[in-house]
Amino acid sequence: MKISLQRVSTKDLATLTERTLTVSTSGKYPVLTNHPLMNELTNHYTDYDAVYTKKTFSGKGKDVAAADHDRDVAFSCIKAFLNGYRQVSSVPNFQDAEDLYQVFVQFGLDLDRMSYSSQTAQMKKLIEALELPANTQKISNLSLSVAFAEMKTKHEYFEDIFEEQTEANAGLRQMQSASTIRRGLEKTLKSFYSMLTALKDVPDWKDVYAEVYELVKSAKNSTVSRKNNNEEPE
């Protein structure tokens, strides 16, 4: 009963192991009941089954990018308004626009092109400065209170979704990789097949060997078929 387990695809290895366990724990073969190698194989498969299809990343990247875009737009709109308004000295409160624009200058007119972390730090400081009583009044004078509240809300939403992404990715990285667990599963599965092969002529072992052999042969055929079709192992 020979098979190169390293060449078996990720999903096919899971299927082969699951079927091997199903046959071996069916109750038809008392010689395998509570067998130490069976218990070890079950434990390895349980670990492998939990992680072999796990994602590498959280999948929240698009949500984070969308949230960042929304806060960029809100920031740019207020900045553009202030820049235009401050240049028309004949309009009411144009000096307020100039003062607020300088606050934007202080924390970076291009902060919407910074990295996520740098922009977040600068936006936080910008918002804190704009929330000072003197600046809050100027924002009100220019009828920008709603626009400012929207910018702040969108920034806070970005922080929330970015934190979710960070926590999710950290959790995934802490999980044991499927490749690490796979090596242990392959080793135990190989030992199990070797044991069945060594005992195949013993009366109590003949039938279980024959049934498991068919499973292994099927897995080998699947691997050959994949190779012939030039498919990469998953």
User: Of the ranges 50-54, 98-102, 117-121, 173-177, which one carries the lowest mean pLDDT score?
Assistant: 173-177
Do 220 and 3 contact (CB within 8 A), yes or no? yes
Percentage of residues of the chain with pLDDT beyond 70: 88
Backbone torsions φ then ψ of 49, nearest 5 degrees: -65, -30
Do 126 and 165 contact (CB within 8 A), yes or no? no
pLDDT of 199 higher than 90: yes
List, for residues 166-187, the tens digit of each pLDDT value.
877 766 665 556 677 888 899 9
The number of angstroms, rounded, from the C-alpha of 14 to the middle of its chain's C-alpha atoms is 22
For the chain, how many residues are written? Answer: 234
Overall average pLDDT of the 186-203 stretch: 94
Please list, residue by residue across 56-76, b when 16 or more beta carbons sit within 10 angstroms of its beta carbon and e when fewer do. eebebeebbeebbebbbebbe
